[in-house]
Structure 1
Amino acid sequence: MSLKSINCDLSVLEFCNILLEDLNIHSRIYLSRKEGTSVIIRGKRYEYTHDFYELRIYRKESVAKFALSIGFTIQRKQEKLQQFLEAHSYN
């Protein structure tokens, strides 16, 4: 399991990456979707007007540390994260 956040503002994700590094949470930033790429959503075609970047927390230990140190404010996301941790004996 990995946690990810997608944003078109690379500087926001770079800042988050630095904060995560300070907490010893391993993460990386990837180009998720390139500007000009087409996508079909609910039968309608759209084109991305910006590059989209993805910050990904990719190690189980880092996911567990994120859950303990930061967590989510959105209840359904927090519950899903807790279920993952319990299933993998991290809680």
Structure 2
Amino acid sequence: MDGRTRVAWNLRQLRTERGLSQESLAVDADVDRTYVSGIERGTFNPTLDLLERLAGALSVDLVDLVNKPAGDQPPEPLRPGRRPKGSG
């Protein structure tokens, strides 16, 4: 798993664990929502400064965004799309 894929996976995992929308995270990190989406899809390559802002908005250390997920196999892809209302 390359670094961009790790960041994409970890960012989305941390965001959804906290029940945050991309919009909420974007506002807290002072970045456009479409950029958060692009990072989570692995199409955008964020700067270190932006990763630090995202980590701060998620209340995690920067390394939590770049660490290899636990286990020998890459994580299962996260389900795309919005969560149904009332879940989580």
Q: After TM superposition, is the score higher than 0.5?
A: no
Structure number with higher strand proportion: 1
- Tell me the TM-score normalised to structure 2 length: 0.32
